[in-house]
Amino acid sequence: MTLVPDEVYNRWLVQKIMGAEVSKKEDPIFPYRQEWMKAFKAGDIEALVSLATDDIVCMSPNDTTVYGKDEYRAWWEEYFQYFKSVAYSEPERSVVIDGDYGTEHSGYMLAIAPASGGGRIRDDGRILTIWKRQQDNSWKMWQTIWNSTNPIGSGTNRYMSRMLQKKVKPKR
Amino acid sequence: MSDGPTESLNQHVIKASQSGDVKALVSLFADDALFMPPNDTNVYGVEEIRSWWEDYFTSFSIVSNVLTERDLTVAGSQAFERTAFTGTILPKKDGAKIPDEIRTLIVWKRQPGGNWKISHLIWNSVKPVGAGTNRYMNLMMQKKGRSS
């Protein structure tokens, strides 16, 4: 077997960089992703939920699947009881638009802090989101899933982080 | 709406993964596919995907894969397939079977000939951190077992 990761990666990167020039015009989802990032950083649940379709399916790692807007809201409410966002950026992004659907892949770098105190928790990962164009021409999240690129035992998974919080608590 | 990847294509994925048939698995992917396994770096393109599966099947065999949920939406030249399944893998060197519950999101792209190939594939586990079939975790566990 011949493996040429650098060559494959470089070709992919060039395509994406060249594509990014075009995507400013052809990436109608980008403003909505920016809104999402702003809402996440602010812990603004209503803004996050407003970007979701009624039938959103959200698949967060090590957690059950969330179906529909109400469950999605409840998920975020619980999340922000435990954590606040410290930093979030997406250094990598690709979008494919086909009719009323958009396939968005983004790589993320994230830091959150436990709401009850404690050190920052860093994570790197990627999100795959399918966006759906609405009747008013806006775009909403329809299906979304993510995972971490970091080794098991690191990262910002909420269950893991809760476990860490529990570990810290008895010392008080 | 037009015909998309069929149930039989999905069964092809399951069968190929259970038999460790790397060639059959790789044939499902578009040349520039993006493959995103948990706790691992992005895998770009069909050659890296082949290498990933070869590495995977050096360490594990997939014992079972039972589909529990499948939702397919075809939109133009793309199709979005969301699945959930229960699966079990077996470390090849030592260790017991490892069960997992997985969700996948697959984007299929219609090819010029009319067939469908995977352009994006990501998955994660429903199970708590430390459980499940992630290959790095299991490799670590195998190493622990060998050293003890």
pLDDT, tens digit (0-9, with 9 covering 90-100), for A83-111: 899 999 999 999 999 999 999 999 999 99
Q: Where along chain A do its domains lie?
A: 5-171
Q: Which CATH architecture has domain A5-171?
A: Roll (3.10)
The predicted pLDDT at position A1 comes to: 38
The predicted pLDDT at position A124 comes to: 92
Check pLDDT > 80 for residue A25: no
**B7-147 CATH, one of 3.40.50.300, 3.10.450.50, 2.40.30.110, 3.20.20.100:** 3.10.450.50
Q: Where along chain B do its domains lie?
A: 7-147
The predicted pLDDT at position B133 comes to: 58
Q: Give A139's pLDDT tier (boundaries 50, 70, 90).
A: very high
Q: How far apart are CA B109 and CA B29, in angstroms?
A: 9
Does A42 lie at the interface with B, CB-CB under 8 angstroms? no
β-strands B116-125, B29-36 pairing: parallel
Of residues A158 and B111, the one with the higher pLDDT is: B111
Does A34 lie at the interface with B, CB-CB under 8 angstroms? no
- HSE of A145 in the Cβ direction (CA atoms, 13 Å)? 26
Residue A65 and residue B103: Cβ atoms within 8 Å? yes
Q: How far apart are CA A168 and CA A131, in angstroms?
A: 39
Q: Which residues of chain B neighbour A64 with C-beta distances below 8 Å?
A: 126
Q: Give B68's pLDDT tier (boundaries 50, 70, 90).
A: very high
Does A68 lie at the interface with B, CB-CB under 8 angstroms? no
Q: Give A3's pLDDT tier (boundaries 50, 70, 90).
A: very low
pLDDT tens by residue, A42-88? 999 999 999 999 999 999 998 899 999 999 999 999 999 988 999 99
Q: Which residue of B has its CA nearest to A64?
A: B126
- Smallest Cβ–Cβ distance between A12 and the set B32, B127, B137 belongs to B32
Q: How far apart are CA A101 and CA A6, in angstroms?
A: 31
Does A148 lie at the interface with B, CB-CB under 8 angstroms? yes
Say which amino acid occupies A121: I
Residue A2 and residue B47: Cβ atoms within 8 Å? yes
Of residues A18 and A62, the one with the higher pLDDT is: A62
Q: Give A118's pLDDT tier (boundaries 50, 70, 90).
A: confident
Say which residues have a Cβ less than 8 Å from residue B84's Cβ, sequence separation at least 6: A65, B67, B68, B69, B70, B101, B102, B103, B104, B126
pLDDT tens by residue, B75-106? 989 999 999 999 998 888 877 888 889 999 99
Say which amino acid occupies A134: Q
Distances from the Cα of A38 to the Cαs of A28, A115, B82, B88, B148, in angstroms?
A: 17, 19, 28, 40, 49
Q: Give B135's pLDDT tier (boundaries 50, 70, 90).
A: low
Q: Give B148's pLDDT tier (boundaries 50, 70, 90).
A: very low
Query: What are the structure tokens assigned to A12, written together?
Result: 């992919």
Q: What percent of chain B has pLDDT over 70?
A: 85
Q: Which of residues 118-137 of A touch B (CB under 8 A)?
A: 126, 128, 130
Q: Give B119's pLDDT tier (boundaries 50, 70, 90).
A: very high
The predicted pLDDT at position A155 comes to: 53
Query: What are the structure tokens assigned to B92, written together?
Result: 């090849």
Does B68 lie at the interface with A, CB-CB under 8 angstroms? no
So what's the ipTM on this one?
0.86
The predicted pLDDT at position A9 comes to: 47
Average pLDDT over residues B42-52: 96
Average pLDDT over residues B10-34: 91
